[in-house]
């Protein structure tokens, strides 16, 4: 039988792993949305569509990396980036927050009775 601390650590790791997988799935959805937007641009702005598809592919790679790497490895990489490139880390976090907020605002799950401007 394991001690309570070990049990709590394992439970926390399992929860974090589930959240990591859910995050990777959400990132995949963002990538698919970017691919969809790129498809819409294809006729009128083919170069912009090309860049958008490339960006979506990079987003998919990020989701795959998140899905495939261990939590310890991700934390180590994150900490190293914070030490070596704090501005890049801050900028990436701000950009990710902006992208997530835009994605959530555009989701169809709006409460009934809300009006949109």
> Is residue 113 situated within a structural domain?
no
Same domain, yes or no, for 79 and 101? Answer: yes
Give the CA-trace dihedral at 22, 25, 29, 34, to 10 degrees: 120
Residue 115: its H or E element: none
pLDDT averaged per 10 residues in sequence order, the chain, 117 residues: 87 88 90 91 92 92 90 85 84 74 66 50
> Is residue 111 situated within a structural domain?
no
Q: Which domain holds residue 64?
A: 14-68
Closest to 35 (Cα-Cα) out of 67, 64, 66, 60: 60
Same domain, yes or no, for 57 and 98? Answer: no
> Is residue 53 situated within a structural domain?
yes
> Is residue 2 situated within a structural domain?
no
Distance between CA atoms of residues 16 and 22, nearest Å: 10
Within 8 A by CB and 6+ apart from 71, the residues are 13, 16, 17, 20
Q: How many structural domains comprise the chain?
A: 2
> Is residue 115 situated within a structural domain?
no
Distance between CA atoms of residues 100 and 41, nearest Å: 21
- Output the pLDDT for position 111: 52
Same domain, yes or no, for 54 and 76? Answer: no
Predicted model pTM: 0.62
């Amino acid at each position: 039988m394991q001690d309570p601390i070990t049990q709590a650590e394992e439970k926390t790791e399992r929860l974090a792993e589930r959240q990591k997988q859910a995050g990777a799935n959400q990132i995949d959805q963002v990538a698919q949305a970017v691919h969809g937007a790129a498809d819409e641009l294809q006729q009128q702005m083919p170069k912009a569509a090309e860049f958008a598809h490339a960006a979506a592919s990079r987003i998919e790679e990020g989701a795959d990396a998140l899905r495939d790497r261990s939590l310890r490895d991700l934390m180590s990489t994150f900490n190293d980036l914070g030490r070596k490139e704090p501005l890049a880390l801050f900028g990436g976090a701000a950009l990710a927050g902006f992208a997530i907020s835009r994605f959530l605002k555009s989701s169809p799950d709006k409460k009934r009775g809300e009006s949109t401007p």
